[in-house]
Amino acid sequence: MSTLGPLRWELAESNGLPSLRFFGEIDMSTAEELGFALAEVEADTRDLLLDLRGVTFMDSTGISAIVGVHQQFNREGRRLLVAPSEPVQRVFEVTGLLEKLNILR
């Protein structure tokens, strides 16, 4: 498990998919860690589960980082699946992203 301040993450596998699991807060001080974690995933990985069920808080910086990763995956013909925690799901609902991201419920 890697850590940077109040955010921790680990690379795992879930239902045959590589999975990045995050725990803690994704905000201005930790959003860069999302990029570091994604660099750990092999470039040829077709699909990825971004498991945010352990995230307790996310601000606009975190939203921007996730949207950027989602757009990058789309451009590359890859699929980013997102499993949000309840607080993160509320953020996605308020911002209209719930319908735009590949959300696992």
Domains and CATH numbers, the chain: 2-103 (3.30.750.24)
Give the model's pLDDT for residue 20. 92
pLDDT tens, position by position, for the chain (105 residues)?
A: 555 457 899 988 888 888 999 999 999 988 888 877 877 776 667 899 999 999 999 999 999 989 988 998 999 899 999 999 999 999 999 999 999 999 987
Give the model's pLDDT for residue 17. 87
**DSSP sequence for 49-60:** EEEEEEEEEE-H
Range list of H helices, the chain = 31-40, 60-75, 86-95
Give the model's pLDDT for residue 100. 92
Per-residue DSSP letter, 90: H
